[in-house]
Chains A and B, each alone.
Chain A
Amino acid sequence: MIELGKYAGTVLAAYGVSVLLLAGIVWHSVAANARARNDLHRQEGRTNG
């Protein structure tokens, strides 16, 4: 069992905020990349006939 003592709320809040922010930037980066790749493929398909 992990011991956090009287600062359990403090530690969990710090980890929670950090994980949320990191997950957010990872999701944003991956989703934007997928969107750009699909848009470019569609446009190249149209341009090349």
Chain B
Amino acid sequence: MSIWEYANPVKFMRLSGAILPWVVVGAVLCTVGGVVWGFLTPLDYKQGATVKIVFLHVPAAMMAINIWVMMLVTSLIWLIRRHHVSALAAKAAAPVGAVMTLIALATGAIWGQPMWGSWWEWDPRLTSFLILFLFYVGYIALWSAIEDPDSAADLTGVLCLVGSVFALLSRYAVLFWNQGLHQGASLSVAPGERMSAVYRYPLYLSMLGFLLLFLALLLIRTRTEIRRRRLAALQAREIRG
């Protein structure tokens, strides 16, 4: 059995329909559990209650980058092997990625105001994240603007390749440029930099929750796209008589 069998829309619908309820249950349990657990953590000696924002900001930022990487992989599969389900999965993922990027930007700004004394700084990581958000918006707009779905998949696939530079920059900007306000990795394992277990475990659970939430939304939205494609094919057949 090959993984490419699931590029067949019928097989994808059957498999995704079977696993979707389990993914939804896992997503709800882990996301609600992680975020509520994070909300109940004690105040940090330096940041006070604002430390609780990390349980939303870090998982959202992690997913913002990883969703674009997932779109890159599925776009490459479309461009090389022409599997329609992979192009539709990339299209389905983009609005979720845009929302995750927006959550990361908004929670970062809300946290930054009392901690940095500023809602926004043209810091390398913040700026590359803003550009990543604009790429998400452009990607969604391009899909909407082109009528032929295969041409739209081709062009958005190329846009996705270009945007990947900013997805990587968002992740590694702090390492490339030793300037700016944004701190390094929140889950550093370096001695003396490791986050306390009181905050680390709810953060792990929240990150797992956001990952499962994305998977659930991805499956739902890809199934929607496959149904729309089938509907369009049936309507075209009816018009042709």
Complex interface: chain A residues within 8 A of B217 (CB): 25-26, 29
Interface locus among B73-81, B177-185, B230-238: B230-238
How close is A36's CB to chain B, nearest CB, in angstroms?
4
Complex interface: chain A residues within 8 A of B107 (CB): 14, 17-18
Please measure, in the bound complex, the distance between the C-alpha atom of A32 and the C-alpha atom of B234, giving whole angstroms. Answer: 19
Complex interface: chain B residues within 8 A of A7 (CB): 48-50, 114
Q: Is the interface of B mostly helix, strand, loop or mixed?
A: helix
In the complex formed, the residue of A with least CB distance to B106 is A17
Q: Are B111 and A10 in contact (CB under 8 A)?
A: yes
Q: Are A5 and B43 in contact (CB under 8 A)?
A: yes
Q: Are A11 and B53 in contact (CB under 8 A)?
A: yes
Complex interface: chain B residues within 8 A of A25 (CB): 95-96, 99, 217
B52 proximal to A (CB < 8 A): yes
Q: If A5-B43, A14-B56, A29-B221 touch, does A24 touch B99 (CB 8 Å cutoff)?
A: yes
Complex interface: chain A residues within 8 A of B52 (CB): 4, 11, 14-15
How close is B38's CB to chain A, nearest CB, in angstroms?
10
* CB contact between B224 and one of A5, A21, A26, A32 (< 8 Å): that residue: A32
Q: Are A10 and B224 in contact (CB under 8 A)?
A: no
How close is B10's CB to chain A, nearest CB, in angstroms?
14
8 A Cβ contacts from A13-44 to B = 13-15, 17-18, 21-22, 24-26, 28-30, 32-33, 36-37, 39-40, 43-44
Complex interface: chain A residues within 8 A of B31 (CB): 22
Q: Are A21 and B231 in contact (CB under 8 A)?
A: no
In the complex formed, the residue of A with least CB distance to B217 is A29
| Interface size grouping (class) on chain A | 20 to 34
Q: If A11-B50, A14-B53 touch, does A37 touch B106 (CB 8 Å cutoff)?
A: no
* CB contact between A2 and one of B35, B40, B96, B220 (< 8 Å): that residue: B40
* CB contact between A18 and one of B43, B56, B224, B237 (< 8 Å): that residue: B56
How close is B237's CB to chain A, nearest CB, in angstroms?
7
8 A Cβ contacts from B204-238 to A = 213, 217, 220-221, 223-224, 227-228, 230-231, 234-235, 237-238
Q: Are B49 and A3 in contact (CB under 8 A)?
A: yes
Q: Are A2 and B227 in contact (CB under 8 A)?
A: no
Complex interface: chain B residues within 8 A of A47 (CB): 234, 237-238
Q: Are A4 and B96 in contact (CB under 8 A)?
A: no
* CB contact between A36 and one of B53, B113, B213, B227 (< 8 Å): that residue: B227
